[in-house]
């Protein structure tokens, strides 16, 4: 028998053994001289029930890490089904556990043997019933045939064997889960965020040059802080070869370049292109690629229409209105990094007519509109902000560790504010916006960027600014704010966040405020620190959103 077959047999056998122990407890309870032994059977039954739960949980962890959640759920809900005898399932389990498979096999095999010995010693039938009915005479005769008094020690020995094997499996599952996370996440997640970061920098540099080519008015450029969701490991999902950034442009002056189409607010999707010379006319054409989880690229579609370089972005944006959905207007060239960035008509357009207006997140959270924000919207917004921080902190989009709600833009439609799509805003050309500090820095704040996120999540949760949430102990005896006041206020409010928003949000705020990431070298420029922030902030908020959506 294979390891997965034996595991399935154990899951099917344990309930029978539990039923048998309960049957014996009920039986001996009817005989006065043996009533004291009834408690021993109750203890054995309870211990075996505990081992059943531990075995089920351990098996679920091992199967989820090696086979994926979908197959694991199918197996555990179809005990005795054909999947437990599928050689391909056992092969995948063997490949997933690698050198741990032999330990897994021997442990479940020993548990199955101990259960079989226990059931044989108790002479249980296929329904978990002992060799007697509930009549006193039948019970007495059955126990006499079993030489009952000599076997209690044997029953306990079999249970001790099950406990020992279960303990080894539990350690194996913990190590397997840790190794699985280490092997999957660091390379994939950190490299993905680094790719996003590089693309965002390229977009900023290209737009900085292209928007000031002929138009000398200032422009505000809003980059969507779109969260990256990790893909499921049990499916070979198709991933785009390059991430797509939604960008909304605001023209802030009355002076339009001559010959350009008039626009005040425009949006586009921007993504990296893979350009090659057209085989006949030498023009640029665009092959769209997808990439599987294994990293293999496959060409899916070829754009045969020639693409033109857009050197004057302000003028070029006027041509967006003539495009069809998902069509490409052209590309910007980032010569320094040898990138080409395509401007596409958005697949899901936000701007419809003149109904969209930009407001800062501060206007929403500090104004009367904060009462409109639902709990789910807050959690989705928190995830987007954390993911955006991880991607953009330290770039020109979010260069200052003192970032916050005034740098974040959301858009208002007649139906309400689109909080699920926050944007980080930068002004290109013209006088730069004066940056204001959100908090007093001090030696207790190890990393400003993550502390800033913690403050923002506190304000989002509590519905008030940090200044509004001051307590006397956060100030001097004269009631004046001092250098440690912001840190003391944020630190004091962590427990209140737990009470209002729950454990996930509370954990994230605590880690951000106190920089609890188990890293000696802090700062999002450090890959190990970025990985820790992803695992302890972004991934936790992803789970928080999933839980909230299932309520």
**Whether the Cβ atoms of residue 93 and residue 67 lie closer than 8 Å to each other:** yes
- pLDDT tens-digit series, residues 498-521: 999 999 999 999 999 999 998 989
What Cα–Cα distance (Å) separates residue 7 from each residue in 55, 106, 110, 163, 235? Answer: 9, 11, 11, 15, 24
Position 145 pLDDT exceeds 90: no
Burial of 460 (0-12, 13-18, 19+ CB in 10 A): buried
What percent of the chain shows pLDDT beyond 90? 23
- pLDDT tens-digit series, residues 258-271: 544 567 888 888 88
Q: Is the dihedral of CA 277, 281, 286, 292 positive or negative?
A: negative
Phi, psi of 22 (to 5 degrees): -65, -40
pLDDT at 32: 60
DSSP 8-state class, residue 364: H
SS3 of the chain: helix, strand, coil, percent, to 5: 55, 15, 30
pLDDT at 505: 94
* DSSP letters spanning 180-247: HHHHHHIIIIIHHHHHHHHHHHHHHHHHHHHHTSS--S-EEEEEE-PPPPPPPTTS--EEESS-EEEE
27-36, 116-125, 391-400, 499-508 — which one is most confidently predicted on average? Answer: 499-508
Position 476 pLDDT exceeds 80: yes
**Whether the Cβ atoms of residue 323 and residue 346 lie closer than 8 Å to each other:** no
Residues 6+ apart with CB under 8 A from 326: 344, 345, 347
- pLDDT tens-digit series, residues 421-462: 899 998 876 555 556 678 888 999 999 999 999 999 999 999
Mean pLDDT computed over 466-477 = 92
pLDDT at 309: 86
User: Angle 503-514/539-549 helices, nearest 10 degrees?
Assistant: 160
193: left (phi over 0), alpha (psi -120 to 50) or beta: alpha
pLDDT at 297: 39
- pLDDT tens-digit series, residues 306-333: 678 888 888 888 777 666 666 888 888 8
Cα(49)–Cα(45) distance, rounded to whole angstroms? 6
Q: Give which of 486, 543, 206, 512 is closest to 389, Cα–Cα.
A: 512
**Whether the Cβ atoms of residue 365 and residue 460 lie closer than 8 Å to each other:** yes
Tell me the pLDDT of the chain averaged across its residues: 78
DSSP, collapsed to helix, strand or coil, labels residue 347 as coil
Res. 239 pLDDT band, cuts 50 70 90: very low
Mean pLDDT computed over 3-10 = 89
Mean pLDDT computed over 400-429 = 85
Q: Give which of 48, 56, 61 is closest to 100, Cα–Cα.
A: 61
DSSP 8-state class, residue 279: T
* DSSP letters spanning 296-340: -EEEEEEEEEEE-B-S-HHHHGGGGGGPPTT-EEEEEEETTTTEE
pLDDT at 237: 27
Angle ∠(452,455,458) on CA atoms, nearest 5: 150
Cα(265)–Cα(359) distance, rounded to whole angstroms? 13
18-27, 431-440, 537-546 — which one is most confidently predicted on average? Answer: 537-546
- What domains can you pick out in the chain, each with its CATH number? 3-183 (no CATH), 212-344 (no CATH), 357-549 (1.10.510)
Lowest mean pLDDT of 191-205, 253-267, 273-287, name the range. 273-287
């Amino acid at each position: 028998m294979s390891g997965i077959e034996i595991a399935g047999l154990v899951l099917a056998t344990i309930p029978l053994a539990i039923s048998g122990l309960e049957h014996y407890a009920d039986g001996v309870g009817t005989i006065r001289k043996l009533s004291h032994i009834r408690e021993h059977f109750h203890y054995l039954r309870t211990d075996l029930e505990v081992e059943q739960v531990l075995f089920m949980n351990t098996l679920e962890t091992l199967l989820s890490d090696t086979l994926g959640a979908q197959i694991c759920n199918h197996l555990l809900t179809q005990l005795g089904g054909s999947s437990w005898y599928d050689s391909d399932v056992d092969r995948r389990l063997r490949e997933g556990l690698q050198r741990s498979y032999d330990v897994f096999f021997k442990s479940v095999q020993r548990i199955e043997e101990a259960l079989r010995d226990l059931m044989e010693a108790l002479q249980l039938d296929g329904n978990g019933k002992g060799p007697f009915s509930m009549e006193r005479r039948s019970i007495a005769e059955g126990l006499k045939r079993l030489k009952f008094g000599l076997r209690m020690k044997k029953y306990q020995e079999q249970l001790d064997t099950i406990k020992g094997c279960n303990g080894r499996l539990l350690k194996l599952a913990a190590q397997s889960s840790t190794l699985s996370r280490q092997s999957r996440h660091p390379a994939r997640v950190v490299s993905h965020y680094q790719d996003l970061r590089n693309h965002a920098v390229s977009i900023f540099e290209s737009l900085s040059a292209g928007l000031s080519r002929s138009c000398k008015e200032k422009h505000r450029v809003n980059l969507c802080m779109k969260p990256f969701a990790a893909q499921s490991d049990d499916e070979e999902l198709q991933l785009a070869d390059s991430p797509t950034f939604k960008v909304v442009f605001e023209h802030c002056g009355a002076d339009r370049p001559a010959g350009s189409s008039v626009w005040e607010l425009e949006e586009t999707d921007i993504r990296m292109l893979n350009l090659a010379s057209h085989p006949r006319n030498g023009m640029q054409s665009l092959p769209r690629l997808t990439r599987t989880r294994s990293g293999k690229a496959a060409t899916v579609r070829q754009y045969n229409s020639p693409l033109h370089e857009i050197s004057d972005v302000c003028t070029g944006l006027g041509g967006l209105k003539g495009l069809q959905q998902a069509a490409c207007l052209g590309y910007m060239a980032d010569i320094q990094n040898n990138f080409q960035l395509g401007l596409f008509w958005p697949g899901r357009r936000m701007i419809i007519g003149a109904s969209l207006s930009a407001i800062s997140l501060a206007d929403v959270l500090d104004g009367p509109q904060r009462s409109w924000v639902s709990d789910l919207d807050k959690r989705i917004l928190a995830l987007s902000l954390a993911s955006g921080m991880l991607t953009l902190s330290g770039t020109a989009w979010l260069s200052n560790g003192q970032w916050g709600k005034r740098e974040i833009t959301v858009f208002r439609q007649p139906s309400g504010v689109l909080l699920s799509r926050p944007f980080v805003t930068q002004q290109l050309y013209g006088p730069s916006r004066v940056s204001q500090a959100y908090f007093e820095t001090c030696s207790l704040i190890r990393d400003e960027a993550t502390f800033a996120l913690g403050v923002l999540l506190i304000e989002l949760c509590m519905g008030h600014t940090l200044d509004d949430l001051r307590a006397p102990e956060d100030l001097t005896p004269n009631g004046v704010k001092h250098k440690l006041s912001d840190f003391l206020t944020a630190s004091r409010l962590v427990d209140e966040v737990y009470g209002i928003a729950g454990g996930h949000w509370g954990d994230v705020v605590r880690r951000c405020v106190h920089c609890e990431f188990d890293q000696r070298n802090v700062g999002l420029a450090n890959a190990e620190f970025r990985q820790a922030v992803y695992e302890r902030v972004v991934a936790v908020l992803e789970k928080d959103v999933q839980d909230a959506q299932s309520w």
